[in-house]
Amino acid sequence: MCRVPPVGGVKVSPRKVPAYERYHYLTRPVSKTLVLPYSYRMLAEVFRSTDTVVSMLFNRREPIIFSKLAKAVQDMMRKNFGEKFLKQIKCVFPQAYLYAWEKVLNKFGQKKDEYQLRISPNLDFKKDILTEFGANDIDAMEKNSAGRLTPELLVERRGIFHNSLLQLVKDQHRTFLGGLDPPILVNDSELTRWHRSFDVESCREIDTVELPPKPNVEEKFTTAQEVLEKANQIYNINPKLAESLQDAAAKIQEGSAPAPAPTPVAAPPPVPKAFKGLNPKLLEMIRAKEANKARVEMTRDHGEIKRIKQLKRLPQLARLTRSLFVSERKVSLTQEFVVKKLVQSYPGSVESSLILEDLRQLCVESDGWLVLHLVRNTEFVKLDGSKDINTVTTILETKIKKAEAV
């Protein structure tokens, strides 16, 4: 029912918002439930490998040259590593590294006219982040006196990078929710799962931030106007040739001028075939109800999600338990025997610890239909045969609906 907004092809980069909002996510633990797109997870793995190689070279006091770094990362990941990954890392976590061009030294220690990109880890990355926060007690922070990239710092930097990627997806998810009909407003800190219609893999590609420009790079000309200006600086050319070049440059600029983009017209939200002909007010109520249901699903607590999943397994477990007691023709059985038989009869592969946990929960939720008794250090499972199994499953399904509605 919800109208899904289209996803554009524009690249994504960190938001230009106040620092206290932009870096709030850095203080949160790494989320294990909100899944990242494959390209984002791939970039996180590239950063982990890059940081590992950089730490080894830096701690050995070896110069970290881009060519040496790229080869080591490629050997570790068995995948190509180019400048694009480094530019994306700088976009996501700009405080991670310091970049500088240095002249190449020959075998005699003399500097050549060639340059190479040198990378070094920024050990004061937390100080730089707090500077953007506007903190006042930055000078009182502990400094890394050892000058080493320790495993603790690697884990911390990896967490910051993961949370930065997660925030980029949350920004796109918020835009997606705002484009629904009706729009849904959810606080990022309360999210436990993405909207069911949100395609995570369709997230935009991460933007790149240019590295420091290489000094003394040979000039490249892209327009006739640039060629003319450079020629005038070197020598006086033929006036007629100059006029023809100026005319050619003006024509090229006129032809390459972008046409004005047409103003987008807001299209009415499409109505599903099954709901055509309904009263607009009723349709609006249905959409509002679905939006509220989606909001509850996205902000549900992890404990509640686990309990609902367990409750959904209990009706089937109750029927299997009753069938076991009917086939054994007994009122009570040992807990070990019941768990063993339920594992064997349960569809698919399941661990006995999960069956035991669900069995104990079934005793709590079945309103006395199934009870556990401890007799001489042996647990027995007792079933009330006077209750109909359909009544028990109805009680369980009612509790499932009630838990999902909260």
Say which CATH number the domain at 371 has. 1.10.10.1420
Q: Do 230 and 196 share a structural domain?
A: no
Radius of gyration of the chain (CA): 32
Q: Looking at 89-169, which runs of residues are DSSP E strands?
A: 97-105, 111-121
Q: Do 314 and 229 share a structural domain?
A: no
Establish if 214 belongs to a structural domain.
Answer: no
Q: Can you give the pLDDT at residue 233?
A: 59
Establish if 192 belongs to a structural domain.
Answer: yes
Strands 111-121 and 370-375: unpaired
Q: Can you give the pLDDT at residue 4?
A: 44
The two three-digit tokens of residue 286, written as one number = 């249905």
Q: Can you give the pLDDT at residue 126?
A: 86
Instruction: Say which residues have a Cβ less than 8 Å from residue 307's Cβ, sequence separation at least 6.
Output: 403
Q: Can you give the pLDDT at residue 235?
A: 46
Number of domains the chain is built from: 3
Q: Do 120 and 231 share a structural domain?
A: no
The two three-digit tokens of residue 79, written as one number = 């995948």
Establish if 279 belongs to a structural domain.
Answer: no
Instruction: Say which residues have a Cβ less than 8 Å from residue 203's Cβ, sequence separation at least 6.
Output: 7, 12, 37, 39, 40, 168, 169, 172
Q: Can you give the pLDDT at residue 160?
A: 92
Q: Can you give the pLDDT at residue 59?
A: 93
Q: Can you give the pLDDT at residue 3?
A: 46
Q: Can you give the pLDDT at residue 119?
A: 92
Q: Do 351 and 306 share a structural domain?
A: yes
Helix, coil or strand: residue 283: helix
User: Of 5, 79, 18, nearest to 46 (Cα)?
Assistant: 79
Q: Can you give the pLDDT at residue 263?
A: 42
Q: Do 81 and 36 share a structural domain?
A: yes
Establish if 173 belongs to a structural domain.
Answer: yes
Instruction: Say which residues have a Cβ less than 8 Å from residue 219's Cβ, sequence separation at least 6.
Output: 230
Q: Are 105 and 112 in contact (CB under 8 A)?
A: yes
Place of tokens 């070990």: 336
Q: Do 191 and 45 share a structural domain?
A: yes
Establish if 12 belongs to a structural domain.
Answer: no
Q: Do 95 and 244 share a structural domain?
A: no
Handedness of CA 304, 305, 308, 314 (dihedral sign): negative
pTM greater than 0.75:
no
Q: Do 38 and 153 share a structural domain?
A: yes
- Cα 263 to chain centroid distance, Å, stands at 33
The two three-digit tokens of residue 148, written as one number = 């080493």
Q: Do 244 and 118 share a structural domain?
A: no
The whole domain housing 336 covers 302-405
Q: Can you give the pLDDT at residue 214?
A: 83
Q: Do 115 and 234 share a structural domain?
A: no
Task: Round to whole Å and give the CA distance between 207 and 210.
Answer: 10
Establish if 278 belongs to a structural domain.
Answer: no
Q: Do 99 and 150 share a structural domain?
A: yes
Establish if 285 belongs to a structural domain.
Answer: no
Q: Do 149 and 83 share a structural domain?
A: yes
- C-alpha count within 13 angstroms, C-beta hemisphere, residue 96: 26
Establish if 345 belongs to a structural domain.
Answer: yes
Place of tokens 């994306």: 88
Q: Which stretches in the chain have pLDDT values below 50?
A: 1-7, 20, 24-25, 140, 235, 261, 263-267
